[in-house]
Amino acid sequence: MSELSKADPELFEMVQKELARQNDGVELIASENFVSRAVMEAQGSILTNKYAEGLPGKRYYGGCGFVDEAEDLARDRAKKLYGCEWVNVQPHSGASANAAVYLAVLKPGDTLLGLDLSHGGHLTHGSPVNFSGILYNAQFYGVEKSGPLAGRIDMDKLAERAREVRPKLISIGASAYVRDFDYQRFRAIADEVGALLWMDMAHTAGLIASGELNDPMPHCHIVTTTTHKTLRGPRGGMILIGKDFDNPFGKVAAKSGRVKKMSELLDSAVFPGTQGGPLMHVIAAKAVAFGEALKPEFAAYAKQVRANAKAMADAFIAKDYNLVSNGTDNHLVLIDLRNKGISGKKAERILGEADITTNKNMVPFDDRSPMVTSGIRLGTPAMTTRGLKEEDFVALVDLIDRVICNPDDEGISAEVRGEVQALCQRFPLYEN
């Protein structure tokens, strides 16, 4: 970054400080990861200069031959990675991908059924403060408060809810749900009520690609994802279809009168429906990340992500922490801190002061506000990328516990911060 240091030393200093923060601290935010130098190089390439509205071979600008090749490479690799028939790699984010799905399949006021945000769902799955809840009639299902399914979705109750509200679209996926999904049962429910089934696999895309979690592609009509998080690519989005199908809304091609494929509606919903020009440098970085995810090393990484999460969950349980659903199937652990007498907000702050980055998070049936919360969400993808194994995450649980059990002890915080920095020195992030 020698050019940046000369051209804009003020911003360069900020970047260097962020590099030091990432390198010297423990990153446990479940939605974050560390990309390879190759991904960063592609994202910082000259492809940022190119406008390329449209699709490869069908652009509205000239000079797109080489970026067409880059986008085709990204699409081909994504298809191979997920065994799907169609993909659009242009969405700028997961939220952008989701917006395109809504535009393609719903009209304002139509009913959608999704996992409640306070139960681990996502903002774009119908929250009243988000466009998805403002434009559409958002209805929700949730997790159980007690009993053998505590913290889990009761599929029988979900079926009852679907029969009650008769949604046009049912969404799966979450930002803080620690269990896998029964896609076959979801599809049976969707078929019964005449709904399309959509999976937002943003959090678990890398684990699904590697076969560590159930595959939504054979069962869901549409799948969306981010390309970062467990997939370990650049920040961006993507839409996929396992097997393309005629759209069920009767929309036809203007000239031929043939029924359009669902993929065509989604392509149009991305551009020109919700976006202008695609970010070709980010698409190139996606291609790099998809290529990395196709390698055997990535499968080993994903397996380690889950093993680390299980080790971390077991260690917390042994220390009398209340975990939502009492464990995890994926990469994250959601902790209800109410029996520890501390809010999620305070836990996030004091852990941050010890160089352990987490995020406060609502837990199901929370009695605190979203800005305070009763829980914290922890994830293993980023530190697994750095090379940590199960025993290292058990050690991290000890450090976290020391901070939480001594929330106002600056001496303990300083001791833990020193141990965190020593740990991070053993697992350097970006070596020169």
Annotation marks residue 385 as catalytic: no
Is the bond preceding residue 272 a cis peptide, omega within 30 degrees? yes
β-pair partners for 238:
225
111, with CB counted inside 10 A (0-12, 13-18, 19+), is: middle
- Name the active-site residue from 59, 168, 232, 235: 235
* Distance separating alpha carbons of residues 161 and 166, to the nearest angstrom: 8
Name the residue type at position 294.
Answer: L
β-pair partners for 26:
356
| Cβ(381)–Cβ(30) below 8 Å | yes
Annotation marks residue 229 as catalytic: yes
- Name the active-site residue from 226, 328, 384, 385: 226
Place of tokens 């679907």: 162
Could you give the angle at which helices 155-165 and 183-193 cross, rounded to 10 degrees? Answer: 20
Annotation marks residue 303 as catalytic: no
- Name the active-site residue from 168, 187, 229, 261: 229
Tokens representing residue 14 in the block: 């900020």
Annotation marks residue 225 as catalytic: no
- Name the active-site residue from 200, 348, 392, 419: 200
- Name the active-site residue from 24, 53, 154, 244: 53
Q: What is the DSSP string of 317-350?
A: HHTT-EEGGGS-SSSEEEEE-GGGT--HHHHHHH
CA 429 to chain centre: 22
Annotation marks residue 200 as catalytic: yes
- Name the active-site residue from 51, 110, 185, 345: 51
Positions marked active-site: 51, 53, 200, 226, 229, 235
